[in-house]
Amino acid sequence: MTRPEPPNNSAAAVVLLSGGLDSATTLAIARQQGFACHCLSFSYGQRHSIELDAARRVAASMHAAEHRVIDLDPRTFERSALTDAAVDVPRDRDEAAMAGAIPSTYVPARNLLFLSYATAWAESLDARNVFIGVNAVDYSGYPDCRPAFIDAFERAANLATKLGVEGVNDGSGGLRVHAPLIDLTKAQIVERGVSLGVDYGLTTSCYDPDARGRPCGRCDACRLRAAGFREAGIPDPALRSA
Amino acid sequence: MTRPEPPNNSAAAVVLLSGGLDSATTLAIARQQGFACHCLSFSYGQRHSIELDAARRVAASMHAAEHRVIDLDPRTFERSALTDAAVDVPRDRDEAAMAGAIPSTYVPARNLLFLSYATAWAESLDARNVFIGVNAVDYSGYPDCRPAFIDAFERAANLATKLGVEGVNDGSGGLRVHAPLIDLTKAQIVERGVSLGVDYGLTTSCYDPDARGRPCGRCDACRLRAAGFREAGIPDPALRSA
Protein backbone atom coordinates (compact mmCIF):
# COMPACT_ATOMS: atom_id res chain seq x y z
CA MET A 1 0.00 0.00 0.00
CA THR A 2 1.26 3.43 -0.85
CA ARG A 3 0.17 6.04 1.57
CA PRO A 4 -0.75 9.45 0.15
CA GLU A 5 1.83 12.05 1.00
CA PRO A 6 0.60 15.02 2.99
CA PRO A 7 0.50 18.30 1.10
CA ASN A 8 3.63 20.43 1.27
CA ASN A 9 3.48 21.48 4.87
CA SER A 10 4.96 24.90 4.29
CA ALA A 11 3.19 26.33 7.33
CA ALA A 12 4.90 23.92 9.74
CA ALA A 13 8.25 24.38 11.40
CA VAL A 14 10.35 22.34 13.81
CA VAL A 15 11.61 24.55 16.65
CA LEU A 16 14.45 23.41 18.90
CA LEU A 17 13.37 24.26 22.41
CA SER A 18 15.66 23.97 25.43
CA GLY A 19 13.47 25.80 27.91
CA GLY A 20 15.90 28.71 28.11
CA LEU A 21 15.57 32.35 27.20
CA ASP A 22 16.91 32.11 23.65
CA SER A 23 14.82 29.19 22.46
CA ALA A 24 11.63 30.62 24.02
CA THR A 25 12.24 33.83 22.07
CA THR A 26 12.91 31.84 18.91
CA LEU A 27 9.62 29.99 19.33
CA ALA A 28 7.80 33.31 19.70
CA ILE A 29 9.43 34.59 16.49
CA ALA A 30 8.52 31.43 14.55
CA ARG A 31 4.98 31.70 15.78
CA GLN A 32 4.78 35.38 14.84
CA GLN A 33 5.91 34.41 11.35
CA GLY A 34 2.84 32.20 11.12
CA PHE A 35 4.36 28.75 11.53
CA ALA A 36 2.63 25.90 13.30
CA CYS A 37 5.45 25.03 15.66
CA HIS A 38 6.52 21.45 16.35
CA CYS A 39 8.86 21.81 19.31
CA LEU A 40 11.74 19.46 19.96
CA SER A 41 13.68 19.03 23.20
CA PHE A 42 16.32 16.51 24.23
CA SER A 43 17.10 14.59 27.37
CA TYR A 44 20.81 13.82 27.19
CA GLY A 45 21.85 13.46 30.80
CA GLN A 46 22.22 17.23 31.25
CA ARG A 47 22.66 18.24 34.88
CA HIS A 48 20.09 20.98 34.33
CA SER A 49 17.37 18.56 33.20
CA ILE A 50 14.95 20.88 34.98
CA GLU A 51 15.05 22.79 31.67
CA LEU A 52 12.82 20.10 30.16
CA ASP A 53 10.01 21.10 32.51
CA ALA A 54 10.57 24.68 31.44
CA ALA A 55 10.44 23.61 27.78
CA ARG A 56 7.06 21.96 28.40
CA ARG A 57 5.72 25.09 30.07
CA VAL A 58 7.02 27.32 27.29
CA ALA A 59 5.62 25.09 24.52
CA ALA A 60 2.20 25.04 26.20
CA SER A 61 2.16 28.78 26.86
CA MET A 62 2.91 29.51 23.21
CA HIS A 63 0.38 27.03 21.85
CA ALA A 64 2.88 24.80 20.10
CA ALA A 65 1.29 22.36 17.66
CA GLU A 66 3.28 19.59 19.35
CA HIS A 67 6.17 19.09 21.75
CA ARG A 68 8.45 16.07 21.72
CA VAL A 69 11.23 15.22 24.14
CA ILE A 70 13.74 12.78 22.66
CA ASP A 71 16.10 10.69 24.77
CA LEU A 72 19.69 10.72 23.57
CA ASP A 73 22.24 8.22 24.82
CA PRO A 74 24.24 10.20 27.41
CA ARG A 75 27.33 8.07 26.74
CA THR A 76 27.65 9.89 23.43
CA PHE A 77 28.41 13.15 25.21
CA GLU A 78 31.01 12.21 27.76
CA ARG A 79 33.56 14.68 29.06
CA SER A 80 31.30 17.73 29.25
CA ALA A 81 30.63 19.63 32.46
CA LEU A 82 26.95 19.56 31.52
CA THR A 83 26.76 15.78 31.43
CA ASP A 84 29.50 14.65 33.80
CA ALA A 85 29.10 15.41 37.49
CA ALA A 86 32.87 15.03 37.91
CA VAL A 87 33.57 18.06 35.69
CA ASP A 88 32.90 21.45 37.29
CA VAL A 89 30.73 24.10 35.69
CA PRO A 90 32.88 27.24 35.34
CA ARG A 91 31.73 30.16 37.49
CA ASP A 92 32.19 33.91 37.60
CA ARG A 93 33.74 34.16 34.12
CA ASP A 94 33.69 37.65 32.62
CA GLU A 95 33.02 38.45 28.97
CA ALA A 96 36.69 38.30 28.04
CA ALA A 97 36.99 34.81 29.51
CA MET A 98 33.85 33.67 27.68
CA ALA A 99 35.26 35.01 24.42
CA GLY A 100 38.39 32.87 24.90
CA ALA A 101 38.74 29.09 24.86
CA ILE A 102 35.77 26.77 24.45
CA PRO A 103 34.57 26.07 28.01
CA SER A 104 34.09 22.71 29.73
CA THR A 105 30.31 23.13 29.36
CA TYR A 106 30.73 22.49 25.64
CA VAL A 107 28.82 19.31 24.72
CA PRO A 108 30.33 17.33 21.82
CA ALA A 109 28.54 18.01 18.54
CA ARG A 110 25.33 18.93 20.35
CA ASN A 111 23.81 21.36 17.88
CA LEU A 112 24.89 19.17 14.97
CA LEU A 113 22.91 16.32 16.48
CA PHE A 114 19.95 18.47 17.54
CA LEU A 115 19.67 19.98 14.05
CA SER A 116 19.98 16.55 12.43
CA TYR A 117 17.06 15.28 14.50
CA ALA A 118 15.11 18.43 13.66
CA THR A 119 15.82 17.86 9.97
CA ALA A 120 14.64 14.24 10.14
CA TRP A 121 11.46 15.25 11.92
CA ALA A 122 10.85 18.15 9.54
CA GLU A 123 11.15 15.76 6.64
CA SER A 124 8.73 13.32 8.27
CA LEU A 125 6.27 16.20 8.70
CA ASP A 126 6.95 17.42 5.17
CA ALA A 127 7.91 20.71 6.80
CA ARG A 128 10.46 23.02 5.21
CA ASN A 129 11.64 25.07 8.16
CA VAL A 130 13.74 24.50 11.26
CA PHE A 131 14.38 27.13 13.94
CA ILE A 132 17.30 27.22 16.37
CA GLY A 133 17.99 29.88 18.99
CA VAL A 134 21.76 30.11 18.62
CA ASN A 135 23.39 33.43 19.25
CA ALA A 136 26.93 34.43 18.32
CA VAL A 137 27.13 37.74 20.20
CA ASP A 138 26.56 37.15 23.92
CA TYR A 139 27.46 33.48 24.13
CA SER A 140 29.86 31.06 25.75
CA GLY A 141 32.19 30.51 22.82
CA TYR A 142 30.62 27.31 21.52
CA PRO A 143 31.63 26.64 17.90
CA ASP A 144 28.17 25.33 17.01
CA CYS A 145 26.60 28.74 17.63
CA ARG A 146 28.45 30.47 14.79
CA PRO A 147 26.79 31.56 11.52
CA ALA A 148 29.34 29.60 9.48
CA PHE A 149 28.19 26.38 11.13
CA ILE A 150 24.50 27.11 10.60
CA ASP A 151 25.12 27.82 6.91
CA ALA A 152 27.24 24.69 6.49
CA PHE A 153 24.64 22.59 8.26
CA GLU A 154 21.82 23.89 6.06
CA ARG A 155 23.86 23.00 2.99
CA ALA A 156 24.66 19.49 4.29
CA ALA A 157 21.04 18.89 5.31
CA ASN A 158 19.78 19.81 1.87
CA LEU A 159 22.29 17.49 0.22
CA ALA A 160 21.33 14.70 2.65
CA THR A 161 17.61 14.70 2.17
CA LYS A 162 14.82 14.03 -0.27
CA LEU A 163 13.46 17.37 0.91
CA GLY A 164 16.64 19.05 -0.31
CA VAL A 165 16.76 17.22 -3.64
CA GLU A 166 13.13 18.07 -4.32
CA GLY A 167 13.77 21.64 -3.23
CA VAL A 168 16.38 22.00 -5.95
CA ASN A 169 14.00 20.54 -8.52
CA ASP A 170 10.94 22.58 -7.57
CA GLY A 171 12.85 25.80 -6.92
CA SER A 172 11.68 26.06 -3.30
CA GLY A 173 15.22 25.71 -2.00
CA GLY A 174 14.38 22.81 0.28
CA LEU A 175 15.02 23.08 4.01
CA ARG A 176 15.68 26.42 5.63
CA VAL A 177 17.47 26.65 8.97
CA HIS A 178 16.43 29.85 10.72
CA ALA A 179 18.64 31.32 13.44
CA PRO A 180 16.79 34.57 14.10
CA LEU A 181 18.84 35.51 17.18
CA ILE A 182 22.25 34.95 15.71
CA ASP A 183 23.23 38.62 15.40
CA LEU A 184 21.36 39.97 18.43
CA THR A 185 22.79 40.94 21.81
CA LYS A 186 21.22 39.28 24.83
CA ALA A 187 19.51 42.58 25.66
CA GLN A 188 18.02 42.76 22.17
CA ILE A 189 16.79 39.19 22.52
CA VAL A 190 15.04 40.05 25.81
CA GLU A 191 13.47 43.16 24.27
CA ARG A 192 12.29 41.19 21.25
CA GLY A 193 10.79 38.47 23.42
CA VAL A 194 9.02 40.91 25.73
CA SER A 195 7.52 42.67 22.71
CA LEU A 196 6.21 39.29 21.52
CA GLY A 197 4.72 38.46 24.91
CA VAL A 198 7.19 35.80 26.00
CA ASP A 199 6.80 34.99 29.68
CA TYR A 200 10.43 34.61 30.72
CA GLY A 201 9.24 33.58 34.15
CA LEU A 202 8.58 30.16 32.59
CA THR A 203 12.14 29.77 31.32
CA THR A 204 15.34 28.61 32.99
CA SER A 205 18.90 29.21 31.81
CA CYS A 206 21.16 28.01 34.65
CA TYR A 207 23.59 25.17 33.94
CA ASP A 208 23.76 24.13 37.57
CA PRO A 209 20.54 24.87 39.47
CA ASP A 210 20.12 23.74 43.07
CA ALA A 211 17.86 20.90 44.13
CA ARG A 212 14.88 23.27 44.19
CA GLY A 213 15.64 24.49 40.68
CA ARG A 214 16.94 27.90 41.67
CA PRO A 215 19.64 29.34 39.40
CA CYS A 216 23.22 29.51 40.70
CA GLY A 217 23.75 33.05 39.41
CA ARG A 218 27.40 32.35 38.62
CA CYS A 219 27.61 30.09 35.55
CA ASP A 220 28.01 31.55 32.06
CA ALA A 221 24.32 31.08 31.30
CA CYS A 222 23.21 32.89 34.47
CA ARG A 223 25.67 35.71 33.89
CA LEU A 224 24.76 36.23 30.24
CA ARG A 225 21.07 36.19 31.12
CA ALA A 226 21.47 38.66 33.98
CA ALA A 227 23.50 41.04 31.80
CA GLY A 228 20.85 40.85 29.08
CA PHE A 229 18.00 41.79 31.39
CA ARG A 230 20.12 44.49 33.04
CA GLU A 231 21.07 46.09 29.71
CA ALA A 232 17.47 45.89 28.54
CA GLY A 233 16.39 47.60 31.75
CA ILE A 234 13.86 44.85 32.44
CA PRO A 235 13.66 42.76 35.63
CA ASP A 236 14.04 39.00 35.10
CA PRO A 237 10.67 37.48 36.08
CA ALA A 238 12.32 34.08 36.70
CA LEU A 239 14.27 35.62 39.59
CA ARG A 240 11.17 37.30 40.95
CA SER A 241 9.26 34.03 41.05
CA ALA A 242 12.18 31.93 42.37
CA MET B 1 44.01 -5.31 17.87
CA THR B 2 44.51 -4.32 21.51
CA ARG B 3 47.13 -1.69 21.41
CA PRO B 4 47.87 1.38 23.49
CA GLU B 5 46.25 4.48 22.13
CA PRO B 6 48.21 7.72 21.84
CA PRO B 7 46.98 10.71 23.85
CA ASN B 8 45.19 12.40 20.96
CA ASN B 9 43.72 9.04 20.01
CA SER B 10 44.64 9.49 16.37
CA ALA B 11 44.58 5.71 16.01
CA ALA B 12 40.89 5.45 16.95
CA ALA B 13 38.02 5.67 14.52
CA VAL B 14 34.26 5.50 14.80
CA VAL B 15 32.87 3.13 12.17
CA LEU B 16 29.17 3.14 11.27
CA LEU B 17 28.16 -0.50 11.10
CA SER B 18 24.76 -1.65 9.84
CA GLY B 19 25.54 -5.35 9.59
CA GLY B 20 25.37 -5.27 5.81
CA LEU B 21 27.94 -5.95 3.14
CA ASP B 22 29.12 -2.36 2.68
CA SER B 23 29.68 -1.46 6.31
CA ALA B 24 31.44 -4.79 7.02
CA THR B 25 33.84 -4.02 4.18
CA THR B 26 34.33 -0.49 5.48
CA LEU B 27 35.20 -1.85 8.92
CA ALA B 28 37.77 -4.19 7.34
CA ILE B 29 39.33 -1.24 5.49
CA ALA B 30 39.48 0.92 8.62
CA ARG B 31 41.09 -1.94 10.49
CA GLN B 32 43.60 -2.52 7.70
CA GLN B 33 44.53 1.16 7.92
CA GLY B 34 45.48 0.55 11.55
CA PHE B 35 42.56 2.13 13.35
CA ALA B 36 41.15 0.82 16.61
CA CYS B 37 37.53 0.66 15.52
CA HIS B 38 34.67 1.86 17.71
CA CYS B 39 31.61 0.55 15.89
CA LEU B 40 28.25 2.27 16.02
CA SER B 41 24.87 0.80 15.06
CA PHE B 42 21.34 2.15 15.44
CA SER B 43 18.02 0.68 16.38
CA TYR B 44 15.43 2.95 14.77
CA GLY B 45 12.44 0.71 14.28
CA GLN B 46 13.83 -0.73 11.04
CA ARG B 47 11.86 -3.74 9.81
CA HIS B 48 15.15 -5.54 9.21
CA SER B 49 16.31 -5.19 12.82
CA ILE B 50 17.91 -8.59 12.36
CA GLU B 51 20.78 -6.54 10.89
CA LEU B 52 21.73 -5.54 14.44
CA ASP B 53 22.56 -9.17 15.23
CA ALA B 54 24.66 -9.24 12.09
CA ALA B 55 26.41 -6.02 13.18
CA ARG B 56 27.30 -7.65 16.50
CA ARG B 57 28.70 -10.72 14.73
CA VAL B 58 30.69 -8.60 12.29
CA ALA B 59 32.12 -6.35 15.03
CA ALA B 60 33.20 -9.38 17.05
CA SER B 61 34.69 -11.19 14.07
CA MET B 62 36.80 -8.16 13.19
CA HIS B 63 37.96 -7.51 16.75
CA ALA B 64 36.35 -4.10 17.08
CA ALA B 65 37.59 -2.13 20.09
CA GLU B 66 33.95 -1.54 21.03
CA HIS B 67 30.45 -1.83 19.60
CA ARG B 68 27.53 0.34 20.63
CA VAL B 69 23.92 0.11 19.53
CA ILE B 70 22.04 3.36 20.04
CA ASP B 71 18.25 3.56 20.19
CA LEU B 72 16.75 6.31 18.06
CA ASP B 73 13.17 7.45 18.46
CA PRO B 74 11.36 5.71 15.56
CA ARG B 75 8.77 8.51 15.42
CA THR B 76 11.47 10.69 13.93
CA PHE B 77 11.55 8.55 10.81
CA GLU B 78 7.93 8.13 9.89
CA ARG B 79 6.80 7.50 6.34
CA SER B 80 9.65 5.23 5.26
CA ALA B 81 9.07 1.69 4.01
CA LEU B 82 11.89 0.64 6.33
CA THR B 83 10.16 1.90 9.46
CA ASP B 84 6.47 1.74 8.61
CA ALA B 85 4.89 -1.67 8.11
CA ALA B 86 2.09 -0.01 6.12
CA VAL B 87 4.47 1.09 3.36
CA ASP B 88 5.63 -1.64 0.99
CA VAL B 89 9.29 -2.33 0.25
CA PRO B 90 9.73 -2.02 -3.54
CA ARG B 91 10.61 -5.28 -5.27
CA ASP B 92 12.14 -6.41 -8.55
CA ARG B 93 13.40 -2.95 -9.52
CA ASP B 94 16.07 -2.94 -12.21
CA GLU B 95 19.09 -0.64 -12.29
CA ALA B 96 17.29 1.99 -14.35
CA ALA B 97 14.48 2.15 -11.79
CA MET B 98 16.96 2.39 -8.94
CA ALA B 99 18.72 5.27 -10.70
CA GLY B 100 15.42 7.16 -10.89
CA ALA B 101 13.32 8.65 -8.11
CA ILE B 102 14.26 8.26 -4.45
CA PRO B 103 12.50 5.06 -3.32
CA SER B 104 10.10 4.57 -0.41
CA THR B 105 12.87 2.83 1.53
CA TYR B 106 14.54 6.23 1.95
CA VAL B 107 14.69 7.07 5.68
CA PRO B 108 14.51 10.80 6.46
CA ALA B 109 17.93 12.29 7.12
CA ARG B 110 19.29 8.93 8.25
CA ASN B 111 22.95 9.33 7.33
CA LEU B 112 22.94 12.93 8.56
CA LEU B 113 21.82 11.69 11.96
CA PHE B 114 24.11 8.64 11.97
CA LEU B 115 27.13 10.77 11.08
CA SER B 116 26.19 13.37 13.70
CA TYR B 117 26.13 10.69 16.38
CA ALA B 118 29.42 9.31 15.08
CA THR B 119 30.93 12.81 15.26
CA ALA B 120 29.74 13.30 18.85
CA TRP B 121 31.15 9.93 19.87
CA ALA B 122 34.43 10.56 18.03
CA GLU B 123 34.79 13.83 19.88
CA SER B 124 34.10 12.14 23.22
CA LEU B 125 36.80 9.59 22.38
CA ASP B 126 39.14 12.32 21.16
CA ALA B 127 39.19 10.41 17.88
CA ARG B 128 39.73 12.17 14.57
CA ASN B 129 38.23 9.72 12.09
CA VAL B 130 34.76 8.50 11.15
CA PHE B 131 34.06 5.80 8.56
CA ILE B 132 30.83 5.31 6.63
CA GLY B 133 30.14 2.67 3.98
CA VAL B 134 28.14 4.77 1.54
CA ASN B 135 28.41 3.96 -2.11
CA ALA B 136 27.28 6.15 -5.00
CA VAL B 137 27.67 3.63 -7.83
CA ASP B 138 25.48 0.57 -7.17
CA TYR B 139 22.98 2.09 -4.79
CA SER B 140 19.30 2.80 -4.37
CA GLY B 141 19.35 6.51 -5.21
CA TYR B 142 19.51 7.83 -1.65
CA PRO B 143 20.72 11.46 -1.58
CA ASP B 144 22.74 10.88 1.58
CA CYS B 145 25.06 8.45 -0.21
CA ARG B 146 26.48 11.06 -2.60
CA PRO B 147 30.04 12.46 -2.32
CA ALA B 148 28.69 16.03 -2.22
CA PHE B 149 26.80 15.21 0.97
CA ILE B 150 29.78 13.54 2.64
CA ASP B 151 31.98 16.56 1.84
CA ALA B 152 29.34 19.02 3.08
CA PHE B 153 28.85 17.00 6.26
CA GLU B 154 32.58 16.91 7.01
CA ARG B 155 32.70 20.67 6.62
CA ALA B 156 29.67 21.23 8.88
CA ALA B 157 31.01 18.80 11.50
CA ASN B 158 34.33 20.61 11.67
CA LEU B 159 32.59 23.95 12.07
CA ALA B 160 30.33 22.48 14.77
CA THR B 161 32.94 20.98 17.03
CA LYS B 162 35.79 21.76 19.35
CA LEU B 163 37.61 19.02 17.46
CA GLY B 164 37.22 21.02 14.25
CA VAL B 165 38.22 24.34 15.78
CA GLU B 166 41.32 22.78 17.32
CA GLY B 167 42.06 21.01 14.04
CA VAL B 168 42.25 24.39 12.30
CA ASN B 169 44.55 25.73 15.00
CA ASP B 170 46.91 22.75 15.17
CA GLY B 171 46.95 22.10 11.43
CA SER B 172 45.62 18.55 11.76
CA GLY B 173 42.46 19.41 9.86
CA GLY B 174 40.15 18.14 12.58
CA LEU B 175 37.63 15.40 11.82
CA ARG B 176 37.92 13.31 8.68
CA VAL B 177 34.90 11.48 7.29
CA HIS B 178 36.10 8.48 5.29
CA ALA B 179 33.82 6.93 2.68
CA PRO B 180 36.19 4.37 1.17
CA LEU B 181 33.53 2.63 -0.94
CA ILE B 182 32.02 5.71 -2.49
CA ASP B 183 33.44 5.19 -5.99
CA LEU B 184 33.44 1.39 -6.06
CA THR B 185 31.01 -0.91 -7.83
CA LYS B 186 29.32 -3.55 -5.71
CA ALA B 187 31.54 -6.20 -7.34
CA GLN B 188 34.68 -4.21 -6.44
CA ILE B 189 33.42 -3.91 -2.86
CA VAL B 190 32.95 -7.68 -2.63
CA GLU B 191 36.41 -8.31 -4.11
CA ARG B 192 37.98 -5.84 -1.70
CA GLY B 193 36.27 -7.38 1.29
CA VAL B 194 37.16 -10.93 0.31
CA SER B 195 40.81 -9.89 -0.07
CA LEU B 196 40.65 -8.45 3.46
CA GLY B 197 39.13 -11.62 4.88
CA VAL B 198 35.59 -10.35 5.47
CA ASP B 199 33.21 -13.20 6.20
CA TYR B 200 30.15 -12.09 4.26
CA GLY B 201 28.29 -15.07 5.67
CA LEU B 202 27.94 -13.00 8.85
CA THR B 203 26.30 -10.07 7.08
CA THR B 204 22.72 -9.39 6.01
CA SER B 205 21.54 -6.87 3.45
CA CYS B 206 17.83 -7.62 2.92
CA TYR B 207 15.31 -4.87 3.76
CA ASP B 208 12.50 -7.33 4.33
CA PRO B 209 13.72 -10.71 5.59
CA ASP B 210 11.26 -13.41 6.61
CA ALA B 211 10.62 -14.43 10.21
CA ARG B 212 13.63 -16.76 10.10
CA GLY B 213 15.88 -14.00 8.81
CA ARG B 214 16.15 -15.29 5.24
CA PRO B 215 16.55 -12.61 2.56
CA CYS B 216 13.64 -11.90 0.23
CA GLY B 217 15.85 -11.80 -2.87
CA ARG B 218 13.73 -9.11 -4.47
CA CYS B 219 14.30 -5.80 -2.65
CA ASP B 220 16.89 -3.31 -3.92
CA ALA B 221 19.41 -4.39 -1.28
CA CYS B 222 19.09 -8.08 -2.19
CA ARG B 223 19.32 -7.33 -5.91
CA LEU B 224 22.36 -5.06 -5.61
CA ARG B 225 24.10 -7.62 -3.40
CA ALA B 226 23.35 -10.51 -5.74
CA ALA B 227 24.58 -8.56 -8.76
CA GLY B 228 27.78 -7.65 -6.92
CA PHE B 229 28.64 -11.26 -6.04
CA ARG B 230 27.66 -12.41 -9.55
CA GLU B 231 29.89 -9.82 -11.24
CA ALA B 232 32.73 -10.63 -8.87
CA GLY B 233 32.32 -14.32 -9.72
CA ILE B 234 32.09 -15.20 -6.04
CA PRO B 235 29.24 -17.12 -4.38
CA ASP B 236 27.44 -15.25 -1.58
CA PRO B 237 28.19 -17.21 1.61
CA ALA B 238 25.10 -15.73 3.30
CA LEU B 239 22.92 -17.58 0.77
CA ARG B 240 24.86 -20.80 1.24
CA SER B 241 24.34 -20.71 4.98
CA ALA B 242 20.72 -19.59 4.84
Instruction: Provide mean pLDDT across the span B102-126.
Output: 91
Q: What is the pLDDT of residues A208-217, one digit of tens each?
A: 888 888 899 9
CA dist B28 and B37 (Å) reads 10
pLDDT for res A2: 40
Q: How many domains does chain A have?
A: 1
**Band of pLDDT at residue B3, cut at 50, 70 and 90:** very low
Q: Is B190 left (phi over 0), alpha (psi -120 to 50) or beta?
A: alpha
pLDDT for res B169: 79
**Residue A2, in any domain of the structure:** no
Instruction: Provide mean pLDDT across the span A219-241.
Output: 90
Length of chain B: 242
For residues B177 and B153, the answer to whether their CB atoms sit within 8 Å is: yes
pLDDT for res A171: 76
For residues A39 and A59, the answer to whether their CB atoms sit within 8 Å is: yes
pLDDT for res A83: 77
| CATH assignment of the domain containing A170 | 3.40.50.620
**Residue A4, in any domain of the structure:** no
> Which residues on chain A are in Cβ contact (under 8 Å) with B155?
152, 155-156
In 3D space, the residue among B239, B124, B132 whose CA is nearest the CA of residue B181 turns out to be: B132
pLDDT for res B5: 39
Q: Between chains, do B155 and A157 touch, taking CB under 8 Å as contact? A: no
> Which residues on chain A are in Cβ contact (under 8 Å) with B167?
none
pLDDT for res B101: 77
CA dist A112 and B174 (Å) reads 15
Whether residue B46 has pLDDT greater than 90: no
| Most confident range, picked from A16-25, B162-171, B203-212 | A16-25
> Which residues on chain A are in Cβ contact (under 8 Å) with B163?
108
DSSP bridge partners of B213: none
Instruction: Provide mean pLDDT across the span B141-168.
Output: 92
**Residue B72, in any domain of the structure:** yes
Instruction: Provide mean pLDDT across the span B82-108.
Output: 78
Please report which helix (H) or strand (E) contains residue A15, including its range.
strand A9-16
Interface residue of B70, B83, B121, B123 to substitute, partner A, most A CBs within 10 Å:
B123
Give the 3-state secondary structure of A111-143. Answer: HHHHHHHHHHHHHHHCEEEEECCCCCCCCCCCH
Mean pLDDT of chain B: 88
Using CB atoms, which residue from B68, B120, B148 is nearest to A108? Answer: B120
**Band of pLDDT at residue B4, cut at 50, 70 and 90:** very low
pTM of the full structure: 0.90
**Band of pLDDT at residue B136, cut at 50, 70 and 90:** confident
pLDDT for res B72: 87
Residue of B nearest to A101 (CA): B162
> Which residues on chain A are in Cβ contact (under 8 Å) with B120?
76-77, 108-110, 112-113
Q: Between chains, do A162 and B78 touch, taking CB under 8 Å as contact? A: no
**Residue A1, in any domain of the structure:** no
CA dist B206 and B204 (Å) reads 6
CA dist A27 and B115 (Å) reads 27
pLDDT for res A1: 36
Q: What is the pLDDT of residues A63-117, one digit of tens each?
A: 999 999 999 887 777 777 777 777 778 888 887 777 767 888 888 899 999 999 9
pLDDT for res A226: 94
For chain B, strand residue ranges (E) read: 12-16, 36-43, 66-71, 129-131, 176-178
Interface residue of A159, A170, A177, A182 to substitute, partner B, most B CBs within 10 Å:
A159
pLDDT for res A167: 85
pLDDT for res B241: 52
**Residue B227, in any domain of the structure:** yes
Determine the 3-state secondary structure of A37 from DSSP: strand
Q: Between chains, do B144 and A164 touch, taking CB under 8 Å as contact? A: no
> Which residues on chain B are in Cβ contact (under 8 Å) with A75?
68, 124
For residues B146 and A159, the answer to whether their CB atoms sit within 8 Å is: yes
Q: Between chains, do B156 and A112 touch, taking CB under 8 Å as contact? A: yes
**Residue A60, in any domain of the structure:** yes
pLDDT for res A9: 63
**Residue A161, in any domain of the structure:** yes
Show the domain range for B177: 12-241
**Band of pLDDT at residue B56, cut at 50, 70 and 90:** very high
**Band of pLDDT at residue A202, cut at 50, 70 and 90:** very high
